[in-house]
């Protein structure tokens, strides 16, 4: 297999359509998906575990993946 043809996680997740309502958006979808992936790779196995992980480490990772702080 030619590894040059495998997209990065960021590129793959960028293709996911965002069906959220505008009123419920605080962050762009891509940084949220990347944050969830990082949390899962660190052992989070549920929505509440991802939320807990995000409370402890999320702001640093959101900044690393390019998320803007919500207004």
- What pLDDT digit, counting tens, does each position of 1-16 carry? 565 788 889 999 999 9
pLDDT value at position 40? 94
Letter string b/e over residues 5-37, b meaning 16 or more CB atoms within 10 A of that residue's CB:
eeeeeeeebeeeeeeeeeeeeeeeebbbbbbbb
Distance (Å, whole) CA 19 – CA 56:
27
Distance (Å, whole) CA 3 – CA 24:
37
Which one of 6-10, 19-23, 44-48, 65-69 scores highest in mean pLDDT?
A: 44-48
Average pLDDT over residues 61-67: 74
**DSSP annotation of 56:** I
Domain boundaries, the chain: 41-71
Distance (Å, whole) CA 71 – CA 44:
27
Local confidence band at 71 (pLDDT 50, 70, 90 cut-offs) = very low
């Amino acid at each position: 297999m030619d590894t040059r043809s495998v997209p990065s996680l960021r590129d793959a997740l960028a293709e996911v359509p965002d069906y959220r309502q505008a009123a419920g958006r605080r962050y762009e979808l891509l940084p949220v998906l990347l944050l969830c992936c990082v949390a899962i790779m660190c052992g989070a196995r549920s929505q509440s575990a991802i939320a807990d992980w995000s409370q402890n480490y999320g702001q640093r990772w959101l900044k690393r993946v390019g998320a803007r702080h919500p207004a």
